[in-house]
Amino acid sequence: MKNIKILALSFFLSGTLWAQENQTIEVAQQQVQLVGDLSSFESEISAEKISEGLEIITIRLLQEKATTPPKFSLKWKMPSSNVAGFWSSGAFNDKTIGPSWGPSSVRSMLAKQAPVVTLFGHDDINQLTYAVSEALNTVVLSAGIREEDGFVYNQILFFSEKHSPLKNYEVKIRFDTRPKQYSTALGEVADWWASFDFLKPVPVPEVARRPVYSSWYSYHQNVSMNDLLAECKLAKKMGFESIIVDDGWQTLDSNRGYAYTGDWKPERIPEMKQFVQAVHDLDMKFILWYGVPFVGEKSEAYEKMKGKYLRYWNGQGTYVLDPRYPEVRQFIIDTYVDAIHNWDLDGFKLDFIGRFTADDNTKFTKENGRDFASVNEATDVLMTDLVKSLQEIKPDIMIEFRQPYVGPAMRKYGNMFRATDCPNLSSVNRIRTSDLRLLSGSTAVHSDMLMWHYDEPVEVAALQMLNVMYSVPQISVRLEDIPEDHFKMIKFYTDYWLKNRDVLLEGDFHPTSPLTNYPILEGMTPDKKITTIFNDNLVKLETGAYKNVDIINAKISPQIVVLVTGTPEKFEYSIKDCLGNETGKEIVELSEGTHTFNVPASGLISFTKTK
């Protein structure tokens, strides 16, 4: 759609006027007030109407001489009518909206969270989504209900932390009050971020959208070439295309700290090159874990990088490198470039990037060898240069980050976003992968590694997989050791996932009722819909909407109740248990009203419209 620019307000204000008065602008039916002492800058604010209910504010600060930017904010209030909750990338399992004296909030910066909030209704409809183009520096977005008047008080706070001096600054704030599914509103925010040249996501190789075997939960730091090759042979037969060899390969120390990290020599797996080749011989890809900012106190690199650290991580035995030093950035880049050249790696799991942050002791100056004053800007340059260097060697390089390193800038560097650690917590994995799907656009969203106790009934073990079907599954159980029925279950649902990947991973995605942690997940293409239910909810089925409808019973109770709307239609249905055994098959006419089907725990029912 062609954008029609309507300048609602555009003016230059003297610094004195900014300091004396709070300026108000009407945006998307919101009276938005800019609050703060901007007397040290010339300031420009404008509003652009994109369509009814969708507008963008642009704020510019200008100064001839580099000056420390002031704290300022945007504030507005709105009636709490049908405002059920507060969605943010950090809300996790509490998407309620807090009171004004303890508002719900999200703090976003380069490698932590994302600068967006959605206030959604009880019907999952967007009431207001506001997002910020600032992807490097800290922005705090908050909303709270005031008891006295029933209004939601919103705020976007800029420069709440110390910042290096600057001459100019521009930020855009997107306001969306259009009545559409909250999930659609968030997806459009992800597209908006990706439209900026400075936030353009890296390409996603096809293999990044395929199931992964991970060593972490099953082996922790006690990894070996022979054990993992045996797992790869089984994983490949199941449809897994990559292995991630996690922490432990680089040191013989198994204390789970990082005192010996930083040299990145394969002490535990000295035959790394042969290991990678053996994995390639299985037609699988090899991804290796690194703790990006770490130089352990007992590493050889410690003396080399001495004096170029942000801080010491007490209790973990490691220092955090300061990317503002060009020698540090080159050291990090050379580490990964050499690893590809020496071992022919296919990707990296880059961890702890969120440790590249300033604190109260950070000096925001270019001195003592630092060529950047800002830690965030230096980190952005480091990661941009790193990705460019890796892509020059392998254009289809895979790079994984985990929550909360998942903001819009992170899509410039990584093409795989993984749910943060939640071992054996199937519902938590569901919430975290769903949150990621809503904001990640084309970036491949991966589950946290799946693990469970091998004594679990297979129907219970299957819940680990069923909660993450709308993401790329990562498995971390020992395939050689699990019971036979667990093996069959993984094989069945991996086959199902691969067959329906276009719906589950690439179709329209809607996680219902964020206020109650997504009890129903839906994936849709024009021809097929897959619904997964996690408790005894009604499942809606419109007879004229889809030719094929699958309902996955991700719970222990065996009943599924379908609420049918539309004209009567005949469907053939097939019911399978979690091992893929067919337990029922019939042709039935679905007419308006409720229909009950007996579907085994962790099984599924597939409907196909007959001609």
H or E, element range at 465? helix 458-466
Q: Cβ contacts of residue 423 below 8 Å, gap of 6+?
A: 217, 448, 449, 451
Task: Please tell me the CATH code under which domain 508-609 is placed.
Answer: 2.60.40
Whole-number average pLDDT of the chain: 94
First-last CA distance in the chain: 38
Q: Measured between alpha carbons, how far is 10 from 44 in angstroms, rounded to an integer?
A: 7
The dihedral of CA 574, 577, 578, 582: what is its sign? negative
**Per-residue pLDDT band at 9 (split at 50, 70, 90):** very low
pLDDT exceeds 90 at position 7: no
pLDDT at 11: 30
**Position 591 pLDDT exceeds 50:** yes
Nearest to 182 by CA among 132, 118, 105: 118
**Residue length of the chain:** 611
Quickly list DSSP for 541-588.
Answer: EETTT-SEEEEEE-SSS-EEEEEEESS-EEEEEEEE-TTS-EEEEEEE
Mean pLDDT (whole number) for 97-120: 97
**pLDDT tens digits, 15-69:** 323 333 468 888 888 899 999 988 889 988 989 999 999 999 999 999 999 999 9
With bands split at pLDDT 50, 70 and 90, how would you rate the model's confidence at 611? confident
**Band of pLDDT at residue 2, cut at 50, 70 and 90:** very low
Burial 400-420 (b: 16+ CB within 10 A, else e): bbbbbbbbbbbbbbbbbbbbe
Tell me the C-alpha distance between 214 and 287, whole Å. Answer: 9
Q: How far is residue 606's CA from residue 576's CA, in Å, rounded to a whole number? A: 9
Q: What is the pLDDT of residue 23?
A: 81
pLDDT of amino acid 14? 30
Q: What pLDDT, on a 0 to 100 scale, did the predictor assign at position 5?
A: 30
The CATH number of 207-418, from 3.50.50.60, 3.10.450.50, 3.20.80.10, 3.20.20.70, is: 3.20.20.70
What mean pLDDT comes out for the span 236-261? 93
Residue 399 amino acid letter: I
Nearest partner of 529 among 547, 511, 506, judged by Cα = 547
Residue percentage of the chain with pLDDT more than 90: 91
CA angle 549/553/557 to nearest 5° reads 145
| The pLDDT of residue 244 is above 90 | yes
Indicate the pLDDT class of residue 1, thresholds 50, 70 and 90: very low
Q: Could you tell me the two tokens for 376?
A: 């965030």
Kindly report, residue by residue over 316-356, the tens digit of the pLDDT.
999 999 999 999 999 999 999 999 999 999 999 999 999 99
Lowest-confidence segment of 9-18, 170-179, 237-246, 535-544 by average pLDDT: 9-18
Helix (H) or strand (E) holding 56: strand 54-67
Per-residue pLDDT tens digits for 495-528: 999 999 999 999 999 999 999 999 999 999 999 9
- The least confident of 57-71, 179-193, 197-211, 379-393 is 57-71
- Statement: residue 236 has pLDDT above 80: yes
- Tell me what pLDDT residue 69 has: 92
**Alpha-carbon distance 578 to 491, whole Å?**
10
Spans of all domains in the chain = 7-199, 207-418, 508-609
186: Cα within 13 Å, side-chain hemisphere: 30
pLDDT per residue as tens digits for the range 428-473 = 999 999 999 999 999 999 999 999 999 999 999 999 999 999 999 9
Q: Smallest Cα–Cα separation from 555: which of 493, 601, 604?
A: 601
